[in-house]
Copies of this chain bind each other. A is one copy, B any other.
Amino acid sequence: MQITTKTEYSVRALIEVGIHEGNPVSLREICAAQQLPEKYMEQLFSKLKKKNIIISIPGAHGGYRLARDAKDINMQNIMDAAEDNSYQPYCSGKPENEFCIGNPCVLQQLWQDLHLHMKGYLETLTLQQIMDRIKEASHG
């Protein structure tokens, strides 16, 4: 639900992978181009891989490429992988509290709705769209 550097770095790195169109790109190249901390990105890329956003090719001349077309990768996918936000709606109210009747209680439902709303929006933002916007902005 929150946007930290994990999301920012992931998006910037994924764009770098995306523009190489299927050719594996090494982390070294990615981080050099984007000025990102290499060892930190290793960990983020491990998460992105587990969530099937990227595919890795180990060994010399290896690297990473997108696991599927950039138009089929959205911000929800990326944030779900990068941030650890497997969201669990939570309310610390005790059951004897009249506000917290029901399971989930009214407040938990509220957080849930909020999360679903955000998720829905993030799903509409694809990596391809972001790449297109950057191309537009840079070509002038």
Residues of A within 8 A of B (CB): 1-3, 5, 8, 11-12, 15, 33-35, 75, 90-94, 97-99, 101-102, 105-107, 109-111, 114, 117-118, 121-122, 125, 130, 133-134, 137-138
Contact = CB atoms under 8 A, between A and B. Distances in A.
A33 B93 CA distance: 10
Contact of A35 (B94, B102, B130): B94
A138 B101 contact: yes
Determine the main DSSP class of A at the interface with B. helix
B12 A137 contact: no
Q: Sort A-B residue pairs by CB-CB distance and give the 10 closest, nearest first.
A: A2-B2, A106-B133, A106-B134, A98-B138, A101-B138, A102-B137, A101-B137, A117-B121, A99-B134, A106-B137
